[in-house]
A = this chain, B = another copy of it.
Amino acid sequence: MNYTKCWLEYPRICDETGKTLTAACLLTGTVAWRAVEELRLGLEGLYGLTLETTAEQTADITLDCDPRMHPEGYNIRVYQGRCTIVSGGERGALYGAFALLRQLQMEQCAWEELTWEGKGRPANPMRVLNHWDDLDGSIERGYAGQSFFFRDNEVLVNDRTVAYARLAASVGVNCVVLNNVNVRGAANQLISRRYYEPLREIQKILASYGITMYLCVNFAAPMELGGLDSADPCDDRVLQWWKDKASEVWGSLPGLGGFMVKADSEGQPGPSAYGRTHADGANLLGEAVAPYGGKVIWRCFVYNCQQDWRDTKTDRAKAGYDFFAPLDGKFRDNVVLQIKNGPMDFQVREPVSPLFGGLKHTNMMLEVQVAQEYTGQQRHVCYLIPWFRQVLNQDMHCCEGPSTVADLVSGRSYGNTCCGMAAVANTGDDPNWTGHDLAAANLYGFGRLAYDTTLTGEEIAKEWLRLTFGKTPLVEETLLHILMASWPVYESYTAPLGIGWMVNPNHHYGPNVDGYEYARWGTYHRADHKGLGVDRTSSGTGYCSQYTPELAAEYENLETCPDELALFFHHLDYTYRLKSGKTVLQHIYDTHFDGAEQAAAFLTLVEGLEPLLPQPVYQRLHERFRHQKEHSCEWRDVINTYFFRKSGIPDAQGRTIYP
């Protein structure tokens, strides 16, 4: 086995070898069986205990079912070595088992000593991992090796598939989309006889951990795969083709969750070619998969990627709302729109997408990216959970009653059930799964947060650290500090004040202030010798007005617009004074000097952990933090020099800015 178990290592807390516990499971099914199995694994690892199953009522651990409860919820009671996990269904039992093992590790107590009452109930119905894995084995925006699902156009099924399913289930993920949203080449054939058999194998493994499998499909599949001359959603032949295809697919893969589609986006085909709307397109598939209980996940990442940089009125940020808000209420019940957290594309800082406020009669899913495409690509540390938590907390002021993003996507606001949270995954076949060892905190954290949106980033980080590194105070304190500081630090030495996009084109790594400035992607900072930023107020692109009035006014008005989004919403002079009291330019200089300094401090801190960490872990961390230190200087210097050259204004503190 050339890979780790991440937070499922179950390292020994205290040795109770020789003792045997009994477990009685009153639920039946493979998922319930996995729950018991996990308890067996966990108790053996943590204590050396042996767990035997029994049919007796007097077992040490009892897994029971209460059909009035949520099928994914659980209640746990532990006292003096006796434990009951009551759940609404098998998934709840599995989550309860993981919760119990987590609690034991958090408390670091002997089995007999744990006294605890715990409860779980999922905030979000759907908790999805999106894998952008291609069939050749590459991963689009993958920073942790190759795919462990595909290689050389074949599907991989092996012990790593099981290990992956455990990791996902242990944090409450209940849906996995196996392949890249950009469906090209052989990936078209995933919904053909060529692949059903190995897909069924994967599906079986995932299902045994309570995970529903989804597949990305190409909107033009009727042409690519079916040989039709059209994919027009209003063409009866096309509908019939999809119906036949769905019948074939569910015949071979019963229990499949459904299809995910990226349509009319960045070159992917879609309904617009036929003058049809996204609702036409999504409902076409929705109708075809409905007889099998299938769902359609439809991405809202749609914009004009042939924009002219000279055009200052067109605004990519507006595209999602412009395309989808007018279609509110037109989508079938089994269609869910997947909306990126921000209106642009996973930048280190963006406002929340106004679409969350704009859709009232449509199923919505929040899409975040734990793959660190724009946030250091798993070579820089960037713990994203506090950021996701901010997004969830954002009040959209769009309805009576609860109206935060968390309320909207969980279904609390409007009573939806086909909704939730999705994350673009950060995994690959690297031995540690995520390239940067600390990036696993994002994978862990996404699942935990999606299941329980009241958890804070810090609470989740503490859990993950304890589970991953055991109880070693200096390690836990140091890494907690680094994790919690990491996102602000990364923001500070990269693109300032919400402006985004100052990266090298294509691969998106490293500083390049003008990299996207004269490009066709709608991604501009408009820096000149006097200032920078995009005017998105009513005197500019008008983007602000896509928000509900409270938010629109907040962003429109410089007095109330938060500093960290100042340049996202406003074009400001370098000498403009922010609420912090600093000028825009001095803010840029200060944050870049500070950020690089903090990145250097991370390295020093990590070096202090050398004796406390396993050698391979330390070496991987050390290599990455060394790189981050150096690369943050490159960021600092490129950004500072760029703005010094442009403005001619020196640093007030006289630090080195290369001319």
Contacts and interface: CB of A to CB of B under 8 A. Distances in A.
Given A310-B637, A637-B310, A518 B529 contact: no
B511 A518 contact: yes
B528 A518 contact: no
A310 B658 contact: yes
Interface string A522-554: 000011111000000000000000000000000
Interface residues of A, number: 27
B518 A659 contact: no
Interface stretch (A145-153, A210-218, A242-250, A642-650): A642-650
B310 A530 contact: no
A338 interface: no
A495 to B, nearest CB: 15
A524 to B, nearest CB: 11
Contacts of A642: 514, 518
A370 interface: no
Which of A309, A312, A514, A637 has most B Cβ within 10 Å? A514
Contact of A530 (B309, B512, B515, B648): B648
Contacts of A504: 505
Contacts of A514: 512-515, 642
A409 B12 CA distance: 77
B527 A518 contact: no
A310 B646 CA distance: 16
Nearest to A659: B528
A528 B310 contact: no
B310 A529 contact: no
Main secondary structure of the interface of A (DSSP, over half): loop
Contact of A529 (B513, B638, B645): B645
B638 A528 contact: no
Interface in A579-619: none
A515 B641 CA distance: 15
Interface string A387-398: 000000000000
Contact of A646 (B309, B638, B645, B658): B645
A638 B518 contact: yes
Contacts of A645: 527-529, 646
Contacts of A529: 529, 645-648
Interface in A459-513: 504-505, 511-513
A614 to B, nearest CB: 33
A229 to B, nearest CB: 27
A256 to B, nearest CB: 39
A527 B648 CA distance: 11
Contacts of A512: 514, 518
A269 to B, nearest CB: 25
A310 B633 CA distance: 11
A637 B515 CA distance: 16
A15 to B, nearest CB: 51
A528 B658 contact: no
A575 to B, nearest CB: 14
- Residue among A309, A518, A641, A647 facing the most chain B CB atoms (10 A cut-off): A518
Contacts of A310: 637, 641, 658
Contacts of A647: 529
A588 to B, nearest CB: 15
A513 B309 CA distance: 15
A501 to B, nearest CB: 14
A637 to B, nearest CB: 6
A512 B516 CA distance: 10
A17 B526 CA distance: 70
A648 B529 CA distance: 6
A587 B243 CA distance: 65
Contacts of A515: 514
23 contacts: A309-B638, A309-B658, A310-B637, A310-B641, A310-B658, A312-B659, A504-B505, A511-B518, A512-B514, A512-B518, A514-B514, A514-B515, A518-B642, A528-B644, A528-B646, A529-B529, A529-B645, A529-B646, A529-B647, A529-B648, A530-B648, A645-B646, A646-B646
Given A512-B514, A528-B659, 19 more contacts: A309-B658, A310-B637, A312-B659, A504-B505, A511-B518, A513-B514, A514-B514, A514-B642, A518-B638, A518-B641, A518-B642, A526-B659, A528-B644, A529-B529, A529-B645, A529-B646, A529-B647, A530-B648, A646-B646
Interface of A: 309-310, 312, 504-505, 511-515, 518, 526-530, 637-638, 641-642, 644-648, 658-659
Shortest Cβ-Cβ A-B pairs, 5 listed: A528-B645, A529-B648, A514-B514, A310-B658, A518-B638
